[in-house]
């Protein structure tokens, strides 16, 4: 589900038990260093704003930011709010499940509304 878009990037929600967004470049670039300066700066701006809003809205234990692109060789960043009682914590969300979690979090729609106000 796309929640934001401009001429350089777009942001999608990753379906997960935790709040998880992904920022993609519109221009297909294999590596971050392949991106134009304006795109790199926009990614950093968005990473900062998303992290700050996730911290304030969800009050997570930790924010994880990752960029892999092994399966999808296009520049994209993952931003995830992590909680001590999520299914994988303290492991990465791609790691071994630690427990069966049932998180009770504020609505994602409320978060998106708040995020769009600062984007």
Confidence label for 71 from pLDDT (cuts 50, 70 and 90): confident
Would the pLDDT of 72 be above 90? no
| pTM of this prediction exceeds 0.75 | yes
Would the pLDDT of 54 be above 80? yes
The domain 2-118: what is its CATH number? 3.30.428.10
Confidence label for 38 from pLDDT (cuts 50, 70 and 90): very high
Confidence label for 113 from pLDDT (cuts 50, 70 and 90): very high
Q: Which residue has the tokens 């942001």?
A: 11
What is the pLDDT at residue 68? 84
Residues across the chain? 119
Rounded distance, CA 74 to CA 25, Å? Answer: 8
Q: What's the mean pLDDT when you consider all of the chain?
A: 95
Average pLDDT over residues 85-98: 94
């Amino acid at each position: 589900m796309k929640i934001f878009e401009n001429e350089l990037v777009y942001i999608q929600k990753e379906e997960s038990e935790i709040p998880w967004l992904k920022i993609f470049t519109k221009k297909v670039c294999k590596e971050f260093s392949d991106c134009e300066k304006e795109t790199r700066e926009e990614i950093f701006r968005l990473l900062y704003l998303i992290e700050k809003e996730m911290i304030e809205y969800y009050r997570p234990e930790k924010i994880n930011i990752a960029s892999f692109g092994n399966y999808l060789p296009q520049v994209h960043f993952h931003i995830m709010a992590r909680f001590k009682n999520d299914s994988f914590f303290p492991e990465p969300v791609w790691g071994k499940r630690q427990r069966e979690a049932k998180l009770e979090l504020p609505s994602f729609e409320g978060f998106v509304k708040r995020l769009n106000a600062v984007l």
